[in-house]
């Protein structure tokens, strides 16, 4: 769990965030393979919905953005979509779901769930069949 206080610098925040993501990425994530970007995108959306539900945010069809934002604040959820260059080693592009609690002096921020954007495997050996992958720590989607 990451705690911030009035003397926290941007360097401290980056270091804590990298450690938080490294822990989740190394211990809790699985990578799923899909035949097309469209199928990978649907899986990503299912993971997104499941993560919000696990955090107590149940978005119903037709809910407006302001109501969803209020619901997320009331449940202590913060969502960030991040894009990183492909050569970035410390992070992966995708959705980062945080549990957030705040008081007068300290704020706590814990990475609860992560869902990557669909990506292609970049390696020395290429497959004849195109494949897309999604990495996530959201369980129970498939």
Q: For 35-80, write each residue's pLDDT tens digit.
A: 999 999 999 999 999 999 999 999 999 999 999 999 999 999 999 8
> What stretches of 1-142 adopt beta strand conformation (E)?
2-4, 30-34, 77-82, 94-102, 107-116, 132-136
Domain-embedded: residue 97:
yes
**Two tokens, residue 54:** 């696990």
The verdict on residue 73 lying in a domain is yes
Beta bridge partners of residue 94, listed in sequence order: 82, 116
Q: What is the pTM of this model?
A: 0.77
42 within a domain of the structure (yes/no): yes
Give the structural domain span for 117.
2-136
Indicate the number of domains in the chain.
1
* Farthest-apart Cα atoms in the chain, separation: 56
First-to-final CA distance of the chain: 28
The verdict on residue 141 lying in a domain is: no
- C-alpha R_g of the chain: 17
Q: Is residue 142 situated within a structural domain?
A: no
58 found inside a domain: yes
Q: How far is CA 105 from the centre of its chain?
A: 26
In angstroms, the CA 77 to CA 120 distance is 29
> Which is higher by pLDDT, 62 or 127?
62
Q: List pLDDT tens digits, range 77-103.
A: 999 898 888 777 767 889 999 888 765
| 102's tokens | 């705040």
Given this model, what pLDDT does residue 63 score? Answer: 93
């Amino acid at each position: 769990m990451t705690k911030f206080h009035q003397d926290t610098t941007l360097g401290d925040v980056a270091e804590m965030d990298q450690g938080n993501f490294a822990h989740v990425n190394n211990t809790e994530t699985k990578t799923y393979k899909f035949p097309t970007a469209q199928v990978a995108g649907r899986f990503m959306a299912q993971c997104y919905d499941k993560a919000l539900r696990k955090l107590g945010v149940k978005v119903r069809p037709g809910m407006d953005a302001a109501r969803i934002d209020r619901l997320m604040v009331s449940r202590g959820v913060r969502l960030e979509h991040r894009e990183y260059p492909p050569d970035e080693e410390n992070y992966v592009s995708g959705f980062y779901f945080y549990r957030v609690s705040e008081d007068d002096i300290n704020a706590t921020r814990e990475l609860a769930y992560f869902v990557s954007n669909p990506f292609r495997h970049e390696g020395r050996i290429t497959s004849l069949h195109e494949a897309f992958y999604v990495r996530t720590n959201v369980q129970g989607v498939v």
